[in-house]
Amino acid sequence: MAGDLPLLRAPTPERREQVIAQLSDHFAAGRLEVDQLEQRIELALRVATVAELDALLADVAAPASAGAPLPAEAKPGPERRGGKRVSVAVFSGFERKGAWRPARRHYGLALMGGFGLDFREAELGPGATDVYLFTLWGGVAVTVPPDLDVETSGFALMGGVKEVNRHPAGGTERPVLRIHATAVMGGVEVKVKARTRRAAAIEAGAPSPPEGDDQS
């Protein structure tokens, strides 16, 4: 009985953060689905004891050591078009911009944090690129160029989703960016901004301007 007493104590904020980070690791590794991750994160923020918190990890593979950093695939970086990619901001934030290659399925999670995804210089493959965004007590900002075909759908609970739907004239082979957003006591904003001069030059097949000669 005495050995069980620590498990009946209320978890510290640091312990909750560690479990949320481990759940995000398991999602990135494909051991949890999006709805399972959402449910467990909500529980991790509410449960009253350490035992209840640890139970959220009991049916997945052995968690990473406490306080371990998120794996490389959960952070911004180069990515091939195939498969999926995960961006996670837990009590923190980052911005993904410049030249990058999104995967066909990109998952973004903002948990008491926030991040930005800028697609103005992104290299999208043919067909649809699906971006699934979930924010809980956080925020996500998505920036798209005016000539990109964009479809947005969203759900908000005590939060907001600012949707953008644009279908510029062009052939059927143009890339399509589909954004699926869920905001719980948080916000997801999709905004349209002109391409940078570098991105416009690349699109036109001309030499890109120097790194310092650009507009945001």
Task: Give the pLDDT of residue 28.
Answer: 67
pLDDT in tens, 5-56: 667 788 887 787 778 778 877 876 778 887 788 788 778 878 889 999 899 9
pLDDT at 143: 95
Q: Give pLDDT, residue 66.
A: 39
pLDDT(58) > 60:
yes
DSSP string over 71-107: PGGGSS----SSSEEEEEEES-EEEE-SS----SEEE
Task: Decide: residue 25, CB within 10 A, 0-12 exposed, 13-18 middle, 19+ buried.
Answer: buried
User: What is the reported pLDDT for 198?
Assistant: 60
The residue among 68 and 49 whose pLDDT is bigger is: 49
Separation between Cα atoms, residue 35 and residue 70, nearest integer Å:
20
Model's pTM, two decimal places? 0.60
**Who wins on pLDDT, 134 or 176?**
176
Q: Residue range 184-207: average pLDDT?
A: 73
- Helix/strand/coil for 114: strand
pLDDT score for 186: 87
pLDDT band at 172 (very low <50, low <70, confident <90, very high): low
Structure-model confidence comparison of residues 214 and 201, the more confident one: 201
- What confidence score (pLDDT) does residue 149 get? 92
Average of per-residue pLDDT values in the chain: 76
